[in-house]
Amino acid sequence: MVYHIPALLDECIEGLNIQPDGVYVDATFGGGGHSKEILKRLKTGKLIAFDQDEDAAINAPDDCRLIFLNQNFRFLRNNLKFNGIEFIDGLIADLGVSFHQFDEPERGFTFRSEAPLDMRMNKSSSLTAASLLKTLDESMLADIFDNYGELTNSRKLAREIVTARKEKPVTTTYDLISVIRKLAPQKQEHKFYAKVFQALRICVNHEIEYLKEMLLQALDVLSTGGRLVVITYHSLEDRVVKNFMRTGNFEGTGEKDFYGNPETPFRLITRKGITPGAGEIAANNRARSARLRVAEKI
């Protein structure tokens, strides 16, 4: 089984502008696709790779230039400091869920297989999707589906779950589908289920909060001229990354200079996100929603 096929691989590597003696971070190691290409271009340089999923460790090559850390990328700065690294020349983050996580049914990331409602990227965490559905009240569940799934019927969705769990706990993927099936728009059922599962997964893994933490730390540790390379897979992530690269904050608003130009810590290398071509999508359909953004620290 393929662990993960990285999207937009050539474009990512080009965006990093790798120097043979540079120090780089792969914030989402996964199957190691990006890391292996980075290592090919390093001589005396270093690569620090993060992945909170313990399963990813099996893909780490035995290479003295690589430091693999079974950690969430939100601990970027502390781990760099621990390893004697003050500044880096580039960071890449391929956000979202790996093929491996989707293709292991027991992880509960997909609605296409019967499995416990788990969805933890870090299997040592105590919070699961099932525990969210068991403990959160209707209002909090509705906010999750609204904020992280951008679902227009989030209130009805939360109400159905709260009503159903009074009769029987919602603990598996198929339990959840059976409860919400009546709310799925005709001929768009799969898109609807995907948004519901996305919302729960983002909440379980604190994805947006931790992404923001990592980006702020990346700005601190990037050297002048260092590159920030990020692939997103849905509009919530992309909005965070786009605003941060353009303004240095997550609201997309910033100070302007005397001439009305925004004062930003970055120079945009990609003014619009790069998306995969038809050939890549044909070879790797899961790359279809990928969007790559690259910025250089000023």
Each residue's pLDDT tens digit, 24-61: 999 999 999 999 999 999 999 999 999 999 999 999 99
Residue 2, pLDDT score: 58
Residue 296's alpha-carbon distances to 33, 91, 269, in angstroms, are 22, 10, 7
Mean pLDDT for 10-35 is 97
Each residue's pLDDT tens digit, 79-93: 999 999 999 999 999
Residue 5, pLDDT score: 82
Joined together, the tokens standing for residue 89 give 């020349």
Each residue's pLDDT tens digit, 179-204: 999 999 999 999 999 999 999 999 99
Percent of the chain with pLDDT over 70: 99
Is the pLDDT reported for residue 251 higher than 60? Answer: yes
The three-state (H, E, C) secondary structure of the chain, written as one string: CCCCCCCCHHHHHHHHCCCCCCEEEECCCCCCHHHHHHHHCCCCCEEEEECCCHHHHHHCCCCCCEEEECCCHHHHHHHHHHCCCCCEEEEEEECCCCHHHHHCHHHCCCCCCCCECCCCCCCCCCCCHHHHHHHCCHHHHHHHHHHHHCCCCHHHHHHHHHHHHHHCCCCEHHHHHHHHHHHCCCCCHHHHHHHHHHHHHHHHCCHHHHHHHHHHHHHHHEEEEEEEEEEECCHHHHHHHHHHHHHCCCCCCCCECCCCCECCCEEECCCCCECCCHHHHHHCHHHCCCEEEEEEEC
Mean pLDDT for 117-126 is 95
Mean pLDDT for 208-217 is 98
Residues contacting 59, CB < 8 A, separation 6+: 3, 29, 30, 31, 32
Residue 269, pLDDT score: 98
Q: Calculate the average pLDDT of the chain.
A: 95
Is the pLDDT reported for residue 101 higher than 90? Answer: no
Q: Structural domain boundaries of the chain?
A: 9-99+207-297, 126-204
Q: CATH says 126-204 is which class? A: mainly alpha
Categorize the per-residue pLDDT at 256 as very low, low, confident or very high, splitting at 50, 70 and 90. confident
Amino acid making up residue 232: T
Is the pLDDT reported for residue 262 higher than 90? Answer: no
Among 98, 91, 147, 121, CA closest to 293: 91
Identify the weakest region by mean pLDDT among 42-46, 122-126, 165-169.
122-126
Domain at 9-99+207-297, CATH homologous superfamily? Vaccinia Virus protein VP39 (3.40.50.150)
Name beta bridge partners: 228.
91, 295
Is the pLDDT reported for residue 220 higher than 80? Answer: yes
